[in-house]
Structure 1
Amino acid sequence: MSEPAVLVTGAAGLLGNAVRALLEADGRRVVPIDRVSMTEEGRPIVVCDLSDVHRLHALSVESQIVGIVHCGAHSGPMVARDNPYSMVQVNIVGTANVLEIARIHGARFVFCSSTSAYGNTPGGPVPEDVLLVPTSVYGASKVAGEQLVSAYSKQYGVDGVSLRLSWVYGPRRTTDCIVRTMIEDALAGRPTRKLFGRDFHRQFIHVDDAARAFVMALNTPHLPRQSYNVTGGTYLTLGEIGDIVRRVLPQAEIELGEGPDPVDDMQHRFDVSAVQRDLRFQPEISLEHGVRDYAAWLRNRAAA
Structure 2
Amino acid sequence: MTELRSNEPVLVTGAYGLIGHSVTLALQAGGLPVVPTDLLADRPADAAFTARILDVGGVDRIARFLSEHGTLDLFEAARLTGVGRIVLVSSASVYGNATGPTVGEDAPLVARDAYGCSKIGGELVARCYAAEHGLDIVILRPAWVYGPRRRTPASSGA
Residue pair 2:15, 2:38 contacting (<8 A) in 1 also: yes
Q: 17, 24, 29: which one pairs with 1:20?
A: 24
Q: 118, 134, 142: which one pairs with 2:95?
A: 118
Change (3 A) 1:35 1:99: same
Residue pair 1:111, 1:162 contacting (<8 A) in 2 also: yes
SS at match of 2:16: coil
CA–CA distance in structure 2, aligned partners of residues 41 and 29 of structure 1: 21
Matched residues, number: 149
Structure 2 portions without partners, runs of 5+: 1-6
Residue pair 1:149, 1:160 contacting (<8 A) in 2 also: yes
Structure 1 portions without partners, runs of 5+: 69-97, 179-201, 203-263, 266-304
CA–CA distance in structure 2, aligned partners of residues 50 and 133 of structure 1: 27
Determine the structure 1 residue equivalent to 2:77.
101
Q: Relative contact order (C-alpha < 8 Å, sep 6+): which is higher?
A: 2
Name the amino acid aligned to 1:14: L
Determine the structure 1 residue equivalent to 2:122.
145
SS at match of 1:126: coil
Change (3 A) 1:118 1:152: same
Give the C-alpha shift of residue 124 in structure 1: 4.3
Residue pair 2:17, 2:151 contacting (<8 A) in 1 also: no
TM-score, normalization: structure 1?
0.45
Residue pair 2:66, 2:77 contacting (<8 A) in 1 also: yes
CA–CA distance in structure 2, aligned partners of residues 26 and 144 of structure 1: 32
SS at match of 2:111: coil
Determine the structure 2 residue equivalent to 1:7.
11
**C-alpha distance after superposition, 1:20-79 (max 9, x if no partner):** 1111111111111112242333521111122243332122112222x34xxxxxxxxxxx
CA–CA distance in structure 2, aligned partners of residues 44 and 101 of structure 1: 23
Query: Larger C-alpha radius of gyration, 1 or 2?
Result: 1
Give the C-alpha shift of residue 122 in structure 1: 5.6
Where does structure 1 differ by over 4 angstroms across 4 or more consecutive aligned residues?
none
Q: 35, 52, 55: which one pairs with 1:49?
A: 55
TM-score, normalization: structure 2?
0.84
Residue pair 1:57, 1:101 contacting (<8 A) in 2 also: yes
